[in-house]
A and B are shown apart, each in its own frame.
Chain A
Amino acid sequence: MQALTNRVKQVSRKPLSFWERIYLPAILKGMFITFSHIFKKRPTINYPEKTRPFSPVFRGLHILNRDEEGRENCTACGLCAVACPAEAITMEAAERKAGEENLYREEKYAAKYEINMLRCIFCGLCEEACPKDAIYLSETFAPADYQRKQFIYNKNELLIPHPINEPEAFKKAQGGRVKRETV
């Protein structure tokens, strides 16, 4: 028969020779192969103690960003909610009162901002849609939970830690992603 590719290998149907038939050399060879694996590097990582670095395009839980003075960036324009293909984002806008300038960067802010993490597909379109650098997908996972309602994250859970009061937590929450995008 004509071979379809040049990768065909003819199977050898020669009867086994004496050395092959007593199998012991083959067994010894196999045993030394397994033995050599003792000295190989293990690909496993001791997970809870060590973690693998995230890939630069990893998209995890959302964070709501603040500027360097700790004011919320979000103006509740609703573009993220419109962009969201899974319709996971809802919000309610409110007007900034006098004396709240240190809390919100612009005159309008989100009084309520909720993301349903069970609906979210972590596509990152909200991040792309946002004109105010207010929402980012961070480098954390959504933790497991026993109840569905726990997966609807409210504003308190989404907000990034205050950059002046908790600078370290702020840095950590920003991760590599926010920096890359803002610079």
Chain B
Amino acid sequence: MFLVIDTALIIEKLSLIVVVVLTSLGIALYTTFAERKVAALLQDRRGPNRVGPFGLLQPLADGLKLFFKEEITPNLSSKFLFTIGPALAMLTALMTSAAIPWAGKATFFNREISLQIANVDVGILYIFGVVSLGVYGIMIGSWASNNKFSLMGGLRAASQIISYELAMGISIIALVMVTGNLGLKEIVQQQQDNNWWNVVYQPLGFLIFMICAFAECNRTPFDLPEAENELIGGYHTEYSSMKMGFYLFAEYINMIISSAVMATLYFGGYDIPFVNDAQLQQGALGDWVALFQVLCLLAKIVAFLFLFMWVRWTIPRFRYDQLMNLGWKVLIPLALVNMLLTGGVILYFNK
């Protein structure tokens, strides 16, 4: 494909970037609220309900509080890295959203626009690369704080993410064997054409991918890097004010992005279930289909977010050796078996 770079393209992409980043920030804001509400619901409590109707303005109040808190930089910390850490965590969290296709295409101002910031040919690899960079934010921040507990948290985060990335990568290889493509847009289109979502072909792969996604997002039961009651907050022990807010926010954005990736890879992405999207787009609905596609993807993301929270408020944290056992002795062999099986089945049917 030959890309003509002109002003219109730059404007198109810039507005897409602004919209996507702002939406994911907005969703992240309300995910913090949803987290507290879901936690309350699962524990027979009521959750935040004081600010605004049903407590809907609570995230704004929380954000304001974080902004007005005193920002403390420890005396013996490395000042530059201390600031870089949360910024890097936030940046990498937001960068992953670039490769995710939010909908098919729509026509604005006589211009056919594909609703994806960048249709990278190696979409999955790009997301993997950027997500792995995310651990640098945690590592740098924890190292720069000059605090034992922070450093412990950072080390745990690094080793955990490295261990689980392996299994995640191998489970993805099996998926790529099925799809024969690395681009996220193509994977979604294939699922639309096949009528079956990839989760049907790769149930075990999805399970492994999901468990690893939990680990990559540092969510319970894999929240050892933070572990409030062991490490007083882990890597963000020394952080305060909005720097801390950035870390917490980055975690929620990571959750949203990995939900989006799971939806895209295994659950048809923006595909509207039980409907042929392409026919609809040519029919009466026209470009409104794109809107429904976005809503569909959002619904899938919300469902995964609920799963994240549901698991968090159900399952207790792993011990560190259990974590490593699960990663190296269970998930990686399982992922390998899954890969070999998939390869064998594909070979058998293609002769």
Contacts and interface: CB of A to CB of B under 8 A. Distances in A.
A111 to B, nearest CB: 46
Contact of B45 (A30, A34, A35, A44): A44
B315 A27 contact: yes
Contacts of B311: 31
Which of B42, B49, B310, B311 is packed against the most chain A CB atoms within 10 Å? B42
Interface in A1-58: 27, 30-31, 33-35, 37-38, 40-44, 46
A60 B59 CA distance: 38
B46 A42 contact: yes
Contacts of B313: 34
Contacts of B315: 27, 30-31
B43 A37 contact: yes
Contacts, number: 32
A38 B41 contact: yes
B73 interface: no
A40 B44 contact: yes
Classify chain B: how many residues form its interface, as a range. 10 to 19
Contacts of A41: 44
B276 interface: no
A40 B310 CA distance: 16
A38 B42 contact: yes
Nearest to A32: B314
Contacts of A35: 42, 310
A27 to B, nearest CB: 6
Contacts of A43: 44
B49 A30 contact: no
B302 to A, nearest CB: 16
Interface string B309-351: 0110111000000000000000000000000000000000000
A33 to B, nearest CB: 8
B41 A44 contact: no
Given A30-B315, A31-B311, 4 more contacts: A34-B310, A34-B314, A35-B42, A42-B46
The 10 closest A-B pairs by CB, nearest first: A34-B314, A34-B42, A38-B41, A31-B314, A44-B46, A30-B314, A37-B42, A40-B44, A37-B44, A42-B44
